[in-house]
Amino acid sequence: MHLFWLRVAAILYAAASIAVFPAVLYHGERWRQWCIHTAGMAFFFHFVSVVEMLVQAHRWVPVGVREVESLLGLALAALFFLIWWIYGALSLGIIALPLTFFVVIVPSLGIGGYTFPSEGVRTSWLIAHIAALVAAYAALVFSIVASLLYLVQEHRLKTKMLPGHSESRIPLDWLPPLDTLERIAHGTLEFGFPCMTVGLVIGSVLAVDRFGPVYFTDPKVIASFLSWAIYVFLLYVRRVAGLRGRRAAYLSGAVLVVMMAVWAANTFSQVHRFGAK
């Protein structure tokens, strides 16, 4: 029965992970309440699951990787609520809640893991995984391109205003205004983030089904989660700190470097290599 409560907690952690972003980035009070209440229920069912698991095993010390993972997720959630209660810092939930979900999702699948009812169903989820990540990377590329064009347009406008300087030999009148480029860069980031999150979640379930927990030690997988964390940081800085213009463009360039590192990690991947069977 403890596995059922853990699965309920995982679903609620996922809902709280979604709600925390509009709650923090857009200061939505309803989203804030939804996030706290949902995460609170997730923590309650998670606590019930852990206690019931240990009681049924007639011990108070976790044994095995799955039990340790479940207890680690509970500790992460407890620390988040403690910090929120003392400091009122819901912003940390952007990292803490999705991290808790990713830690809990594996033990919630059970000792034997999740098995897809047919290969056709697995293929459908694989297509959804690839489509979501491709959409995320495409959005990130658009954001980076818009940021680079922002730098070009800004330099063009500043140079044009200086006395004695004429328009560049390359016609750049087709470039959109700075405000439009800024909105494109930020809007594509906001579109790509949920796509990347969904892609990673589906990919984790697919990989655990085929490779087991060793999947999470693969270099490319680690790099993918690192890029997701930097994605979160980029969104948070742009929205909360009000980072705009040139500095935001430079930060987007740093994300491009991380993307290239993720693709380069494919060379060292043993379980997640393109073309691997």
Mean pLDDT computed over every residue of the chain: 78
CA distance 175 to 120: 46
Q: What is the dihedral of CA 72, 76, 77, 80, to 10 degrees?
A: 170
What is the predicted pLDDT for the residue at 245? 64
The reported pLDDT for the residue numbered 25 is 77
Q: Is 113 contained in some domain?
A: no
**Residues 130, 85 share a domain:** no
State the pLDDT at residue 181: 83
Q: What is the pLDDT of residue 266?
A: 59
Of 40-49, 51-60, 107-116, 177-186, the range with the lowest mean pLDDT is 107-116
Final residue before a domain boundary, out of 108, 132, 157: 108
- Gyration radius (Cα) of the chain, Å: 22
pLDDT of 38: 95
In one letter, which amino acid is 231?
Answer: Y
Q: Answer yes or no: is pLDDT of 237 > 80.
A: no
The residue segments making up the domain with residue 235 are 119-268
My answer on whether 240 and 130 are in the same domain is yes
Q: Which range is least confidently modeled, 58-72, 171-185, 210-224?
A: 210-224
Query: Does some domain include residue 277?
Result: no
**Judgement on whether residues 211 and 77 belong to the same structural domain of the protein:** no
Q: Are residues 133 and 249 in the same domain?
A: yes
114 part of a folded domain: no
Does residue 273 lie within any of the structural domains? no
Q: Could you tell me if residue 210 is inside a domain? A: yes
N- to C-terminal Cα separation, the chain: 37
Between residues 246 and 275, the one the model is more confident about: 246
For residue 275, tell me if it sits in a domain: no
Task: Tell whether 193 and 64 lie within a shared domain.
Answer: no
Residue 145 shares a structural domain with residue 256: yes
Distance of alpha carbon 114 from alpha carbon 108, whole angstroms: 9
Query: 173 burial class (0-12, 13-18, 19+ CB within 10 angstroms)?
Result: exposed
Q: Work out the average pLDDT over 227-235.
A: 77
Is residue 250 domain-shared with residue 216, that is, in the same domain? yes
| pLDDT > 90 fraction of the chain, expressed in percent and rounded | 17
Per-residue pLDDT tens over the stretch 162-209? 444 455 555 667 778 888 888 888 788 888 888 888 888 887 777 766
Q: Per the structure block, which two tokens stand in for 186?
A: 């930020």
Helix axes 119-161, 178-210, angle to 10 degrees: 160
H helices present in 57-118, as ranges: 65-87, 93-108
The answer to whether residues 96 and 79 touch, using CB atoms and an 8 Å cutoff, is yes
Shared domain for 95 and 132, answered yes or no, is: no
Report how many domains make up the chain.
2
Are 197 and 247 within one domain? yes
* Domain closes at, from 108, 139, 174: 108
Residues 175 and 253 in one domain: yes
Q: CA-CA distance, 33 to 215, in Å (whole number)?
A: 35
Work out the average pLDDT over 217-240.
73
**Residue 24 in this model has a pLDDT that exceeds 50:** yes
pLDDT at 163: 47
- Which of 50, 77, 108 terminates a domain? The answer is 108
Specify the pLDDT at position 105. Answer: 83
Complete DSSP assignment for 27-41 = --HHHHHHHHHHHHH
- Please report the pLDDT score of residue 59 as a whole number: 75
- Whether residue 47 is predicted with pLDDT greater than 70 in this model: the reply is yes
Considering the domain boundaries, does residue 161 fall inside one?
yes
Domain assignment present for residue 274? The answer is: no
- Same domain? For 54 and 160 the reply is no
Element (H, E) at 254: helix 245-264
Residue 267 is encoded by which pair of tokens? 């060379």
Instruction: Based on the fold, state whether residues 123 and 223 are members of the same structural domain.
Output: yes
What's the pLDDT score for residue 82?
Answer: 94
